[in-house]
Amino acid sequence: MRTAFAVGGGYLAASGAFGSFCTLSVVAGMRRSEAVALGTMLVFVLYLILILWVFAVGALWRPCFVFMLMIAVGYITAFYSGSGS
Amino acid sequence: MEPDFRRSMGWLHTWAGLVLGGVLFAIFWMGTLSVFDKEIDLWMKPATRMVSSDHALSFDAFRSSLEEASRLKASFWAITLPNERDPVLHIRLRVGARFHNHDVNPSTGRDLPDPGTLGASGFIYPFHYSLRFRLGEWLVGLAGMAMLVLCVSGIVIHRKIFVDFFTFRPEKKPGRMLLDLHNVAGVLGLPFHIALTFSGLVIFGAVYFPSGTHAVCPHERACSDEDIKVSLPTPSEKLVVPFTSLDEIAVKARSVWGHDFPESIIVFNPGTSASRIRVLRSDRNQVVFLADKLVFDPTDGHLLSRQPPLRPIARTERFLTGLHLIRFQNWPLRWLYFASGLGSCVMIATGFFFWLNARRRKQGVAFGFRLVEGMAAGSVTGIVIATLAFFVANRLLPLGVNFAGYDRAALEVWAFYFVWLATFAHGWLRPRRVWIEQSLTVGGFALGAVLLNWLTTSDPLWRTFLLRYLWPVAGMDTLLLLGGGVAFWTGSSLARRARETAYD
Protein backbone atom coordinates (compact mmCIF):
# COMPACT_ATOMS: atom_id res chain seq x y z
CA MET A 1 0.00 0.00 0.00
CA ARG A 2 2.65 2.45 1.09
CA THR A 3 4.99 1.08 -1.57
CA ALA A 4 2.40 1.52 -4.32
CA PHE A 5 1.76 5.05 -3.10
CA ALA A 6 5.49 5.86 -2.99
CA VAL A 7 6.26 4.45 -6.43
CA GLY A 8 3.06 5.42 -8.27
CA GLY A 9 2.14 8.63 -6.49
CA GLY A 10 5.75 9.76 -6.37
CA TYR A 11 6.06 9.11 -10.09
CA LEU A 12 2.96 11.13 -10.98
CA ALA A 13 3.97 13.96 -8.67
CA ALA A 14 7.56 14.10 -9.98
CA SER A 15 6.29 13.92 -13.53
CA GLY A 16 3.85 16.77 -12.92
CA ALA A 17 6.53 18.89 -11.27
CA PHE A 18 8.90 18.17 -14.17
CA GLY A 19 6.29 19.33 -16.69
CA SER A 20 5.56 22.55 -14.87
CA PHE A 21 9.27 23.16 -14.26
CA CYS A 22 9.95 22.93 -18.01
CA THR A 23 7.00 25.16 -18.90
CA LEU A 24 7.95 27.82 -16.35
CA SER A 25 11.66 27.80 -17.31
CA VAL A 26 10.78 28.28 -20.96
CA VAL A 27 8.40 31.10 -20.03
CA ALA A 28 11.25 32.59 -18.00
CA GLY A 29 13.39 32.65 -21.13
CA MET A 30 15.35 29.40 -21.00
CA ARG A 31 15.88 27.48 -24.23
CA ARG A 32 13.60 24.49 -24.57
CA SER A 33 16.34 21.88 -24.94
CA GLU A 34 18.18 23.32 -21.92
CA ALA A 35 15.06 23.32 -19.77
CA VAL A 36 14.31 19.70 -20.61
CA ALA A 37 17.92 18.61 -20.02
CA LEU A 38 18.07 20.31 -16.61
CA GLY A 39 14.65 18.99 -15.67
CA THR A 40 15.60 15.45 -16.66
CA MET A 41 18.56 15.53 -14.31
CA LEU A 42 16.57 17.03 -11.43
CA VAL A 43 13.42 14.94 -11.75
CA PHE A 44 15.14 11.71 -10.67
CA VAL A 45 16.50 13.38 -7.55
CA LEU A 46 13.04 14.74 -6.78
CA TYR A 47 11.43 11.33 -7.32
CA LEU A 48 14.02 9.74 -5.00
CA ILE A 49 13.30 12.30 -2.28
CA LEU A 50 9.55 11.77 -2.62
CA ILE A 51 9.88 7.98 -2.33
CA LEU A 52 12.07 8.26 0.76
CA TRP A 53 9.72 10.79 2.30
CA VAL A 54 6.72 8.45 1.97
CA PHE A 55 8.61 5.68 3.72
CA ALA A 56 10.01 7.90 6.45
CA VAL A 57 6.90 9.83 7.43
CA GLY A 58 4.46 8.53 10.03
CA ALA A 59 1.12 9.79 8.71
CA LEU A 60 0.50 9.65 5.01
CA TRP A 61 -1.87 12.62 4.68
CA ARG A 62 0.94 15.16 4.28
CA PRO A 63 2.73 13.54 1.29
CA CYS A 64 -0.69 12.69 -0.11
CA PHE A 65 -1.69 16.34 -0.05
CA VAL A 66 1.61 17.55 -1.51
CA PHE A 67 1.52 14.95 -4.30
CA MET A 68 -1.99 15.95 -5.31
CA LEU A 69 -0.92 19.59 -5.31
CA MET A 70 2.08 18.81 -7.54
CA ILE A 71 -0.02 16.80 -9.97
CA ALA A 72 -2.62 19.54 -10.10
CA VAL A 73 0.00 22.24 -10.75
CA GLY A 74 1.42 20.05 -13.52
CA TYR A 75 -1.97 19.82 -15.19
CA ILE A 76 -2.70 23.52 -14.78
CA THR A 77 0.60 24.65 -16.33
CA ALA A 78 0.21 22.12 -19.13
CA PHE A 79 -3.29 23.45 -19.79
CA TYR A 80 -2.19 27.08 -19.91
CA SER A 81 0.92 26.50 -22.02
CA GLY A 82 -1.11 24.30 -24.37
CA SER A 83 -3.74 26.97 -24.97
CA GLY A 84 -1.15 29.75 -25.05
CA SER A 85 1.03 28.45 -27.86
CA MET B 1 5.30 1.57 10.15
CA GLU B 2 8.59 1.68 11.98
CA PRO B 3 8.74 4.41 14.63
CA ASP B 4 11.97 6.27 13.85
CA PHE B 5 13.74 7.31 10.66
CA ARG B 6 16.66 4.90 10.88
CA ARG B 7 14.41 1.93 11.55
CA SER B 8 12.09 2.82 8.68
CA MET B 9 15.08 3.11 6.35
CA GLY B 10 16.31 -0.27 7.56
CA TRP B 11 12.96 -1.82 6.75
CA LEU B 12 13.02 -0.18 3.31
CA HIS B 13 16.58 -1.35 2.64
CA THR B 14 15.76 -4.96 3.48
CA TRP B 15 12.59 -5.22 1.46
CA ALA B 16 13.55 -3.14 -1.56
CA GLY B 17 16.77 -5.17 -1.77
CA LEU B 18 14.95 -8.44 -1.42
CA VAL B 19 12.30 -7.70 -4.05
CA LEU B 20 14.43 -5.95 -6.68
CA GLY B 21 17.90 -7.32 -5.83
CA GLY B 22 17.54 -10.06 -8.44
CA VAL B 23 16.74 -7.58 -11.22
CA LEU B 24 19.53 -5.31 -10.02
CA PHE B 25 22.04 -8.14 -10.08
CA ALA B 26 21.04 -9.00 -13.65
CA ILE B 27 21.41 -5.37 -14.73
CA PHE B 28 24.77 -4.85 -13.02
CA TRP B 29 26.15 -8.20 -14.19
CA MET B 30 25.18 -7.58 -17.82
CA GLY B 31 26.37 -3.98 -17.59
CA THR B 32 29.73 -5.09 -16.22
CA LEU B 33 30.14 -7.50 -19.13
CA SER B 34 29.05 -4.77 -21.58
CA VAL B 35 32.14 -2.78 -20.58
CA PHE B 36 34.02 -5.31 -22.70
CA ASP B 37 31.27 -6.03 -25.25
CA LYS B 38 33.53 -5.65 -28.31
CA GLU B 39 36.14 -7.93 -26.75
CA ILE B 40 33.53 -10.60 -25.97
CA ASP B 41 32.28 -10.21 -29.56
CA LEU B 42 35.77 -11.06 -30.75
CA TRP B 43 35.74 -14.21 -28.59
CA MET B 44 32.28 -15.23 -29.80
CA LYS B 45 32.91 -14.48 -33.50
CA PRO B 46 36.24 -16.12 -34.31
CA ALA B 47 36.01 -14.98 -37.96
CA THR B 48 36.46 -11.39 -36.80
CA ARG B 49 39.76 -12.07 -35.02
CA MET B 50 42.07 -10.22 -37.40
CA VAL B 51 44.96 -7.83 -37.39
CA SER B 52 43.60 -4.32 -37.75
CA SER B 53 45.08 -2.65 -40.78
CA ASP B 54 47.43 0.21 -40.08
CA HIS B 55 47.06 2.17 -43.29
CA ALA B 56 44.27 4.73 -43.53
CA LEU B 57 41.19 3.18 -45.08
CA SER B 58 39.55 4.65 -48.13
CA PHE B 59 35.80 5.19 -47.98
CA ASP B 60 35.72 5.24 -51.78
CA ALA B 61 36.91 1.64 -51.86
CA PHE B 62 33.36 0.72 -50.86
CA ARG B 63 31.75 2.77 -53.60
CA SER B 64 30.37 -0.27 -55.40
CA SER B 65 28.42 -1.18 -52.27
CA LEU B 66 27.00 2.35 -52.17
CA GLU B 67 26.02 2.20 -55.84
CA GLU B 68 24.38 -1.15 -55.22
CA ALA B 69 22.43 0.47 -52.37
CA SER B 70 21.17 3.25 -54.63
CA ARG B 71 20.07 0.66 -57.21
CA LEU B 72 18.13 -1.12 -54.46
CA LYS B 73 16.55 2.25 -53.49
CA ALA B 74 17.88 1.95 -49.95
CA SER B 75 16.70 4.62 -47.54
CA PHE B 76 20.18 4.82 -46.06
CA TRP B 77 23.63 3.32 -46.42
CA ALA B 78 26.11 3.60 -43.58
CA ILE B 79 29.75 2.70 -43.22
CA THR B 80 31.56 2.48 -39.88
CA LEU B 81 35.32 2.24 -39.81
CA PRO B 82 37.19 -0.25 -37.65
CA ASN B 83 38.76 1.09 -34.47
CA GLU B 84 41.06 0.03 -31.69
CA ARG B 85 38.45 -2.27 -30.12
CA ASP B 86 36.62 -3.47 -33.21
CA PRO B 87 38.80 -4.63 -36.14
CA VAL B 88 35.84 -5.11 -38.48
CA LEU B 89 34.36 -2.59 -40.89
CA HIS B 90 30.57 -2.44 -40.79
CA ILE B 91 28.22 -1.57 -43.64
CA ARG B 92 24.55 -1.20 -42.81
CA LEU B 93 21.72 -0.36 -45.14
CA ARG B 94 17.98 -0.28 -45.06
CA VAL B 95 15.89 -1.37 -48.04
CA GLY B 96 12.17 -0.94 -47.50
CA ALA B 97 11.49 -2.18 -43.98
CA ARG B 98 14.51 -4.51 -43.88
CA PHE B 99 17.88 -3.78 -42.34
CA HIS B 100 20.96 -5.42 -43.80
CA ASN B 101 24.19 -5.78 -41.89
CA HIS B 102 27.51 -6.61 -43.46
CA ASP B 103 30.68 -7.27 -41.48
CA VAL B 104 33.55 -6.58 -43.84
CA ASN B 105 37.20 -7.51 -43.61
CA PRO B 106 38.81 -4.08 -44.04
CA SER B 107 41.99 -5.33 -45.69
CA THR B 108 40.35 -7.49 -48.37
CA GLY B 109 37.04 -5.63 -48.68
CA ARG B 110 35.17 -8.95 -48.67
CA ASP B 111 32.15 -9.77 -46.53
CA LEU B 112 32.83 -11.99 -43.52
CA PRO B 113 30.69 -15.12 -43.12
CA ASP B 114 27.55 -14.84 -40.99
CA PRO B 115 28.78 -15.21 -37.38
CA GLY B 116 25.59 -17.01 -36.30
CA THR B 117 25.51 -15.22 -32.98
CA LEU B 118 24.19 -12.04 -31.46
CA GLY B 119 27.39 -11.71 -29.48
CA ALA B 120 27.79 -9.44 -26.50
CA SER B 121 26.78 -6.27 -28.33
CA GLY B 122 23.61 -7.94 -29.63
CA PHE B 123 22.51 -9.84 -26.54
CA ILE B 124 24.36 -8.90 -23.34
CA TYR B 125 24.28 -5.14 -23.92
CA PRO B 126 20.55 -4.92 -24.82
CA PHE B 127 19.81 -7.20 -21.87
CA HIS B 128 21.53 -4.68 -19.61
CA TYR B 129 19.08 -1.85 -20.35
CA SER B 130 15.90 -3.60 -21.56
CA LEU B 131 16.08 -7.15 -20.12
CA ARG B 132 15.05 -8.08 -23.68
CA PHE B 133 11.32 -7.88 -23.27
CA ARG B 134 8.75 -5.26 -24.20
CA LEU B 135 8.60 -2.46 -21.64
CA GLY B 136 11.58 -4.11 -19.92
CA GLU B 137 13.27 -0.72 -19.68
CA TRP B 138 10.51 0.32 -17.26
CA LEU B 139 11.46 -2.52 -14.93
CA VAL B 140 15.08 -1.43 -15.33
CA GLY B 141 14.02 2.11 -14.44
CA LEU B 142 12.17 0.91 -11.36
CA ALA B 143 15.19 -1.12 -10.32
CA GLY B 144 17.38 1.93 -10.93
CA MET B 145 15.24 4.05 -8.62
CA ALA B 146 15.33 1.20 -6.10
CA MET B 147 19.13 1.24 -6.34
CA LEU B 148 19.20 4.94 -5.44
CA VAL B 149 16.77 4.28 -2.59
CA LEU B 150 18.99 1.41 -1.40
CA CYS B 151 22.10 3.59 -1.52
CA VAL B 152 20.51 6.35 0.55
CA SER B 153 18.83 4.02 3.04
CA GLY B 154 22.05 1.99 3.26
CA ILE B 155 23.96 5.11 4.28
CA VAL B 156 21.29 6.08 6.80
CA ILE B 157 21.25 2.72 8.58
CA HIS B 158 25.00 2.86 8.79
CA ARG B 159 26.61 4.68 11.66
CA LYS B 160 30.30 4.58 10.89
CA ILE B 161 31.07 4.87 7.22
CA PHE B 162 34.79 5.56 7.47
CA VAL B 163 35.53 2.70 9.78
CA ASP B 164 34.02 0.40 7.18
CA PHE B 165 36.71 1.30 4.69
CA PHE B 166 39.10 -0.79 6.76
CA THR B 167 36.78 -3.35 8.26
CA PHE B 168 36.91 -6.86 6.93
CA ARG B 169 36.95 -9.74 9.37
CA PRO B 170 36.99 -13.02 7.47
CA GLU B 171 37.94 -14.90 10.62
CA LYS B 172 34.69 -13.92 12.39
CA LYS B 173 31.45 -15.80 11.96
CA PRO B 174 30.15 -15.98 8.40
CA GLY B 175 27.27 -13.57 9.09
CA ARG B 176 29.66 -10.87 10.28
CA MET B 177 31.98 -11.51 7.35
CA LEU B 178 29.17 -11.24 4.81
CA LEU B 179 28.01 -7.97 6.32
CA ASP B 180 31.58 -6.63 6.29
CA LEU B 181 31.95 -7.56 2.64
CA HIS B 182 28.59 -5.98 1.84
CA ASN B 183 29.65 -2.79 3.60
CA VAL B 184 33.12 -2.62 2.08
CA ALA B 185 31.79 -3.15 -1.45
CA GLY B 186 28.94 -0.75 -0.81
CA VAL B 187 30.97 2.05 0.75
CA LEU B 188 34.04 1.86 -1.49
CA GLY B 189 31.91 1.63 -4.59
CA LEU B 190 29.33 4.18 -3.48
CA PRO B 191 30.39 6.89 -5.99
CA PHE B 192 30.30 4.30 -8.75
CA HIS B 193 26.91 2.88 -7.75
CA ILE B 194 25.33 6.32 -7.59
CA ALA B 195 27.01 7.82 -10.68
CA LEU B 196 26.25 4.87 -12.93
CA THR B 197 22.69 4.37 -11.68
CA PHE B 198 21.89 8.06 -11.97
CA SER B 199 23.45 8.50 -15.41
CA GLY B 200 21.71 5.35 -16.62
CA LEU B 201 18.36 6.78 -15.52
CA VAL B 202 19.12 10.14 -17.16
CA ILE B 203 19.90 8.43 -20.50
CA PHE B 204 16.36 7.08 -20.49
CA GLY B 205 14.97 10.28 -18.95
CA ALA B 206 12.78 11.13 -21.93
CA VAL B 207 11.31 7.61 -21.85
CA TYR B 208 10.56 7.54 -18.13
CA PHE B 209 9.42 11.14 -17.83
CA PRO B 210 7.94 12.31 -21.13
CA SER B 211 6.04 15.10 -19.36
CA GLY B 212 8.90 17.61 -19.70
CA THR B 213 9.22 17.24 -23.45
CA HIS B 214 5.45 17.23 -23.84
CA ALA B 215 5.13 20.40 -21.79
CA VAL B 216 7.41 22.50 -23.97
CA CYS B 217 7.18 20.76 -27.34
CA PRO B 218 3.64 19.83 -28.33
CA HIS B 219 4.98 18.40 -31.58
CA GLU B 220 8.12 16.42 -30.95
CA ARG B 221 9.55 16.99 -34.42
CA ALA B 222 9.43 20.73 -34.00
CA CYS B 223 11.41 20.41 -30.77
CA SER B 224 14.37 18.57 -32.22
CA ASP B 225 14.48 20.99 -35.15
CA GLU B 226 15.00 23.93 -32.86
CA ASP B 227 18.70 23.22 -32.42
CA ILE B 228 19.61 21.09 -35.42
CA LYS B 229 18.39 22.50 -38.66
CA VAL B 230 18.58 19.35 -40.74
CA SER B 231 15.50 18.14 -42.48
CA LEU B 232 15.54 15.04 -44.58
CA PRO B 233 13.00 15.18 -47.36
CA THR B 234 11.47 11.88 -48.39
CA PRO B 235 12.73 10.48 -51.70
CA SER B 236 10.09 11.73 -54.07
CA GLU B 237 12.08 12.16 -57.25
CA LYS B 238 14.10 9.21 -58.44
CA LEU B 239 16.74 11.35 -60.11
CA VAL B 240 20.11 9.69 -59.97
CA VAL B 241 22.71 12.16 -58.83
CA PRO B 242 26.44 11.51 -59.06
CA PHE B 243 28.24 11.02 -55.75
CA THR B 244 31.11 13.17 -54.78
CA SER B 245 34.15 11.42 -53.33
CA LEU B 246 33.50 10.20 -49.79
CA ASP B 247 37.18 10.50 -48.97
CA GLU B 248 37.15 14.19 -49.91
CA ILE B 249 34.19 14.66 -47.57
CA ALA B 250 36.07 12.85 -44.80
CA VAL B 251 39.02 15.22 -45.27
CA LYS B 252 36.69 18.23 -45.17
CA ALA B 253 35.07 16.91 -42.00
CA ARG B 254 38.46 16.51 -40.44
CA SER B 255 39.42 20.09 -41.23
CA VAL B 256 36.21 21.31 -39.58
CA TRP B 257 36.86 19.27 -36.41
CA GLY B 258 40.57 19.85 -36.12
CA HIS B 259 42.13 16.45 -35.57
CA ASP B 260 39.27 14.07 -34.96
CA PHE B 261 38.57 11.63 -37.74
CA PRO B 262 35.08 10.62 -38.83
CA GLU B 263 33.84 7.41 -37.25
CA SER B 264 31.11 6.69 -39.75
CA ILE B 265 29.47 8.12 -42.84
CA ILE B 266 25.76 7.75 -43.52
CA VAL B 267 24.29 8.42 -46.95
CA PHE B 268 20.55 9.02 -46.77
CA ASN B 269 18.43 8.23 -49.83
CA PRO B 270 21.45 7.37 -51.97
CA GLY B 271 21.00 8.03 -55.68
CA THR B 272 18.11 10.46 -55.38
CA SER B 273 17.99 14.22 -55.48
CA ALA B 274 16.94 14.17 -51.81
CA SER B 275 20.20 12.54 -50.82
CA ARG B 276 22.28 13.86 -47.92
CA ILE B 277 25.57 12.70 -46.44
CA ARG B 278 25.99 12.78 -42.69
CA VAL B 279 29.42 12.39 -41.12
CA LEU B 280 29.69 11.33 -37.48
CA ARG B 281 32.66 12.24 -35.36
CA SER B 282 34.38 9.67 -33.21
CA ASP B 283 33.85 10.11 -29.48
CA ARG B 284 37.00 8.27 -28.49
CA ASN B 285 38.88 11.35 -27.30
CA GLN B 286 36.41 12.82 -24.81
CA VAL B 287 34.05 11.70 -22.10
CA VAL B 288 31.18 13.94 -23.26
CA PHE B 289 28.92 12.01 -25.60
CA LEU B 290 28.84 14.55 -28.43
CA ALA B 291 27.89 12.42 -31.44
CA ASP B 292 28.89 15.51 -33.46
CA LYS B 293 27.37 15.50 -36.94
CA LEU B 294 28.14 17.29 -40.19
CA VAL B 295 25.79 17.21 -43.17
CA PHE B 296 27.11 17.46 -46.73
CA ASP B 297 25.51 17.72 -50.13
CA PRO B 298 26.33 14.61 -52.18
CA THR B 299 26.38 16.31 -55.58
CA ASP B 300 29.22 18.76 -55.00
CA GLY B 301 30.26 17.88 -51.46
CA HIS B 302 29.72 21.26 -49.80
CA LEU B 303 28.99 21.51 -46.11
CA LEU B 304 25.25 22.05 -45.55
CA SER B 305 25.09 22.25 -41.77
CA ARG B 306 26.92 21.41 -38.61
CA GLN B 307 25.71 20.76 -35.11
CA PRO B 308 25.92 23.93 -33.02
CA PRO B 309 28.13 23.65 -29.93
CA LEU B 310 26.31 22.31 -26.90
CA ARG B 311 25.07 24.69 -24.26
CA PRO B 312 26.26 24.16 -20.67
CA ILE B 313 23.31 22.18 -19.33
CA ALA B 314 22.95 19.99 -22.39
CA ARG B 315 26.70 19.42 -22.18
CA THR B 316 26.36 18.29 -18.58
CA GLU B 317 23.67 15.83 -19.61
CA ARG B 318 25.84 14.52 -22.43
CA PHE B 319 28.71 14.20 -19.97
CA LEU B 320 26.56 11.93 -17.81
CA THR B 321 25.60 9.96 -20.91
CA GLY B 322 29.23 9.61 -21.94
CA LEU B 323 30.22 8.64 -18.40
CA HIS B 324 27.82 5.74 -18.63
CA LEU B 325 28.39 4.61 -22.22
CA ILE B 326 32.25 4.73 -22.07
CA ARG B 327 32.69 5.55 -25.74
CA PHE B 328 36.04 7.12 -24.89
CA GLN B 329 39.13 5.02 -25.26
CA ASN B 330 41.22 4.48 -22.15
CA TRP B 331 42.16 1.00 -21.03
CA PRO B 332 42.89 1.62 -17.31
CA LEU B 333 39.56 3.41 -16.91
CA ARG B 334 37.75 0.65 -18.76
CA TRP B 335 39.21 -1.92 -16.35
CA LEU B 336 38.25 0.32 -13.43
CA TYR B 337 34.64 0.30 -14.69
CA PHE B 338 34.80 -3.47 -14.97
CA ALA B 339 36.23 -3.91 -11.47
CA SER B 340 33.73 -1.46 -9.96
CA GLY B 341 30.91 -3.26 -11.74
CA LEU B 342 32.04 -6.55 -10.24
CA GLY B 343 32.17 -4.75 -6.88
CA SER B 344 28.52 -3.77 -7.30
CA CYS B 345 27.66 -7.37 -8.13
CA VAL B 346 29.46 -8.52 -4.97
CA MET B 347 27.56 -5.98 -2.92
CA ILE B 348 24.16 -7.11 -4.25
CA ALA B 349 25.03 -10.80 -3.84
CA THR B 350 26.33 -10.42 -0.28
CA GLY B 351 23.17 -8.49 0.57
CA PHE B 352 21.18 -11.59 -0.38
CA PHE B 353 23.55 -13.93 1.45
CA PHE B 354 23.40 -11.84 4.61
CA TRP B 355 19.59 -11.92 4.57
CA LEU B 356 19.59 -15.69 4.11
CA ASN B 357 22.30 -16.32 6.66
CA ALA B 358 20.60 -14.24 9.35
CA ARG B 359 17.36 -16.22 9.00
CA ARG B 360 18.51 -19.72 8.13
CA ARG B 361 18.67 -21.02 11.70
CA LYS B 362 15.22 -19.81 12.70
CA GLN B 363 13.16 -20.25 9.55
CA GLY B 364 15.30 -22.41 7.26
CA VAL B 365 12.41 -24.67 6.31
CA ALA B 366 9.71 -21.98 5.97
CA PHE B 367 8.19 -21.60 2.54
CA GLY B 368 9.08 -17.90 2.30
CA PHE B 369 12.71 -18.57 3.15
CA ARG B 370 13.05 -21.31 0.57
CA LEU B 371 11.36 -19.09 -2.02
CA VAL B 372 13.92 -16.36 -1.40
CA GLU B 373 16.80 -18.82 -1.39
CA GLY B 374 15.79 -20.21 -4.80
CA MET B 375 15.30 -16.71 -6.16
CA ALA B 376 18.67 -15.58 -4.84
CA ALA B 377 20.40 -18.64 -6.30
CA GLY B 378 18.79 -18.13 -9.70
CA SER B 379 19.52 -14.43 -9.79
CA VAL B 380 23.10 -14.51 -8.51
CA THR B 381 24.91 -17.71 -9.43
CA GLY B 382 22.13 -18.64 -11.88
CA ILE B 383 22.64 -15.74 -14.26
CA VAL B 384 26.40 -16.30 -14.15
CA ILE B 385 25.89 -19.94 -15.11
CA ALA B 386 23.41 -18.93 -17.84
CA THR B 387 25.90 -16.43 -19.29
CA LEU B 388 28.60 -19.08 -19.30
CA ALA B 389 26.15 -21.49 -20.95
CA PHE B 390 25.63 -18.82 -23.62
CA PHE B 391 29.39 -18.79 -24.25
CA VAL B 392 29.64 -22.59 -24.23
CA ALA B 393 26.70 -22.90 -26.64
CA ASN B 394 28.43 -20.37 -28.86
CA ARG B 395 31.46 -22.64 -29.16
CA LEU B 396 29.50 -25.93 -29.35
CA LEU B 397 26.79 -25.23 -31.93
CA PRO B 398 27.98 -25.82 -35.50
CA LEU B 399 27.71 -22.90 -37.94
CA GLY B 400 24.48 -22.83 -39.93
CA VAL B 401 22.64 -25.15 -37.52
CA ASN B 402 18.88 -24.87 -37.49
CA PHE B 403 16.64 -26.52 -34.93
CA ALA B 404 12.83 -26.36 -34.79
CA GLY B 405 12.85 -23.27 -36.97
CA TYR B 406 15.37 -21.38 -34.83
CA ASP B 407 18.71 -20.37 -36.29
CA ARG B 408 22.02 -20.58 -34.46
CA ALA B 409 21.88 -17.11 -32.91
CA ALA B 410 18.41 -17.82 -31.48
CA LEU B 411 19.48 -21.23 -30.15
CA GLU B 412 22.29 -19.63 -28.15
CA VAL B 413 19.78 -17.28 -26.57
CA TRP B 414 17.49 -20.25 -25.82
CA ALA B 415 20.40 -22.00 -24.13
CA PHE B 416 20.81 -18.93 -21.92
CA TYR B 417 17.15 -18.79 -20.87
CA PHE B 418 16.78 -22.54 -20.48
CA VAL B 419 19.80 -22.80 -18.18
CA TRP B 420 18.73 -19.72 -16.26
CA LEU B 421 15.28 -21.19 -15.54
CA ALA B 422 16.90 -24.47 -14.55
CA THR B 423 19.05 -22.70 -11.93
CA PHE B 424 15.93 -21.24 -10.28
CA ALA B 425 14.31 -24.68 -10.20
CA HIS B 426 17.53 -26.13 -8.79
CA GLY B 427 17.52 -23.50 -6.05
CA TRP B 428 13.98 -24.37 -5.01
CA LEU B 429 14.50 -28.11 -5.13
CA ARG B 430 17.81 -28.34 -3.30
CA PRO B 431 17.98 -25.73 -0.54
CA ARG B 432 21.37 -25.06 1.01
CA ARG B 433 23.24 -27.54 -1.25
CA VAL B 434 22.39 -25.25 -4.17
CA TRP B 435 25.25 -22.84 -3.39
CA ILE B 436 27.89 -25.57 -3.41
CA GLU B 437 26.57 -27.18 -6.57
CA GLN B 438 26.08 -23.94 -8.48
CA SER B 439 29.53 -22.64 -7.52
CA LEU B 440 31.08 -25.82 -8.87
CA THR B 441 28.93 -25.51 -12.00
CA VAL B 442 30.22 -21.97 -12.58
CA GLY B 443 33.75 -23.28 -12.31
CA GLY B 444 33.05 -26.17 -14.67
CA PHE B 445 31.35 -24.01 -17.29
CA ALA B 446 34.10 -21.37 -17.16
CA LEU B 447 36.79 -24.00 -17.62
CA GLY B 448 34.73 -25.63 -20.37
CA ALA B 449 34.38 -22.34 -22.24
CA VAL B 450 38.17 -21.83 -22.22
CA LEU B 451 38.79 -25.40 -23.39
CA LEU B 452 36.18 -25.12 -26.12
CA ASN B 453 37.65 -21.88 -27.39
CA TRP B 454 41.01 -23.63 -27.64
CA LEU B 455 39.60 -26.72 -29.38
CA THR B 456 37.28 -24.99 -31.84
CA THR B 457 39.39 -22.01 -32.86
CA SER B 458 42.98 -23.22 -32.38
CA ASP B 459 43.65 -20.03 -30.43
CA PRO B 460 44.95 -21.36 -27.10
CA LEU B 461 45.94 -19.04 -24.30
CA TRP B 462 49.69 -19.22 -24.97
CA ARG B 463 49.09 -18.10 -28.56
CA THR B 464 46.58 -15.35 -27.82
CA PHE B 465 48.92 -13.87 -25.21
CA LEU B 466 51.73 -13.48 -27.72
CA LEU B 467 49.76 -11.76 -30.48
CA ARG B 468 48.60 -8.22 -29.76
CA TYR B 469 45.45 -8.48 -31.88
CA LEU B 470 44.35 -11.56 -29.89
CA TRP B 471 44.75 -9.94 -26.47
CA PRO B 472 40.99 -9.46 -26.05
CA VAL B 473 40.56 -13.23 -26.47
CA ALA B 474 43.45 -13.86 -24.07
CA GLY B 475 41.90 -11.47 -21.57
CA MET B 476 38.53 -13.19 -21.70
CA ASP B 477 40.09 -16.65 -21.33
CA THR B 478 42.19 -15.47 -18.39
CA LEU B 479 39.19 -13.95 -16.63
CA LEU B 480 37.20 -17.13 -17.24
CA LEU B 481 40.01 -19.18 -15.69
CA LEU B 482 40.35 -16.82 -12.72
CA GLY B 483 36.61 -16.68 -12.16
CA GLY B 484 36.34 -20.44 -12.55
CA GLY B 485 39.13 -20.88 -9.99
CA VAL B 486 37.39 -18.61 -7.49
CA ALA B 487 34.14 -20.53 -8.07
CA PHE B 488 35.83 -23.91 -7.47
CA TRP B 489 37.50 -22.62 -4.32
CA THR B 490 34.20 -21.17 -3.04
CA GLY B 491 32.32 -24.35 -3.84
CA SER B 492 34.85 -26.62 -2.14
CA SER B 493 35.21 -24.48 0.99
CA LEU B 494 31.42 -24.30 1.30
CA ALA B 495 31.30 -28.08 0.95
CA ARG B 496 33.99 -28.47 3.63
CA ARG B 497 32.09 -26.21 6.01
CA ALA B 498 28.87 -28.13 5.35
CA ARG B 499 30.63 -31.40 6.25
CA GLU B 500 32.11 -29.90 9.44
CA THR B 501 28.74 -28.62 10.65
CA ALA B 502 27.17 -31.99 9.82
CA TYR B 503 29.68 -33.76 12.13
CA ASP B 504 29.17 -31.33 15.00
Q: What is the per-residue pLDDT across B404-432, written as a single tens digit (0 to 9) for each?
A: 889 999 999 999 999 999 999 999 999 88
Q: Closest partner residue to A44 among B11, B12, B202, by Cβ?
A: B202
**Is-contact B381 B350, C-beta < 8 A?**
no
Domain boundaries along the sequence of chain B = 52-116+229-307, 364-499
Going by the DSSP 8-state scheme, the letter that residue B123 receives in this structure is: I
C-alpha–C-alpha distance, residues A63 and A71, integer Å:
12
Does pLDDT of A18 surpass 80? yes
Evaluate if residue B363 carries a pLDDT over 90. no
Contact flag B215-A22 (C-beta cutoff 8 Å) = yes
Please report which confidence band the pLDDT of residue B128 belongs to, taking 50, 70 and 90 as the band edges. very high
pLDDT reported for residue A44 = 97
User: Measured between CB atoms, which of A16, A38, A85 is closest to B211?
Assistant: A16
Helix axes B367-377, B408-429, angle to 10 degrees: 150
Distance CA(B239)–CA(B57), nearest Å, equals 30
- Region of residue B417 (phi > 0: left; psi between -120 and 50: alpha; otherwise: beta): alpha
pLDDT at residue B195, rounded to an integer: 97
Those residues with Cβ within 8 angstroms of residue B93's Cβ, 6 or more apart along the chain or in another chain: B69, B72, B74, B76, B77, B78, B99, B100
How far apart, in Å, are the Cα atoms of B378 and each of A27, B182, B418?
51, 19, 12
The amino acid at residue B481 is L
Per-chain mean pLDDT for chain B: 88
Residue B211's pLDDT is: 87
Alpha-carbon distance of B395 to B449, in angstroms, equals 8
Q: What is the DSSP letter of A28?
A: T
Complex prediction ipTM: 0.94
Q: How many CA atoms lie within 13 A of B241 on its CB side?
A: 20
* Beta strand pairing call for B402-403 and B406-407: antiparallel
Give the pLDDT band (50/70/90) at residue B172.
Answer: low
Averaged over B39-50, what is the pLDDT? 94
Q: Per DSSP, which regions of B49-177 are E strands? A: 76-80, 89-95, 98-104
Q: Do A55 and B8 touch (CB under 8 A)?
A: yes
Interface of B with A in 302-361 (CB under 8 A): 311-314, 316-317, 320
When pLDDT is cut at 50, 70 and 90, the band that residue A84 belongs to is: very low
Q: B307 or A72: which carries more pLDDT confidence?
A: A72
Residue B167 has pLDDT above 80, yes or no: no
pLDDT, tens digit (0-9, with 9 covering 90-100), for B30-44: 999 999 999 999 999
Can you give the pLDDT at residue B228? 39
Most B-contacting residue of A11, A26, A33 (CB-CB within 10 A), to test interface: A33
Helix (H, G, I), strand (E, B) or coil at B303: strand
Domain ranges of chain A: 2-79
Of A19, A26, A58, the CB nearest to B214: A19
CA B54, B59, B65 angle in degrees (round to 5)? Answer: 125
Residue range B385-396, pLDDT digits in tens: 999 999 999 999
For the cut 50, the answer to whether the pLDDT of residue B142 exceeds it is yes
Rounded distance between C-alpha atoms, residue B213 and residue B205, angstroms: 10
Average pLDDT (B359-381) is 89
Distance from CA of B3 to the nearest CA of A (A): 8
Reply yes or no on whether the pLDDT at B227 is more than 50.
no
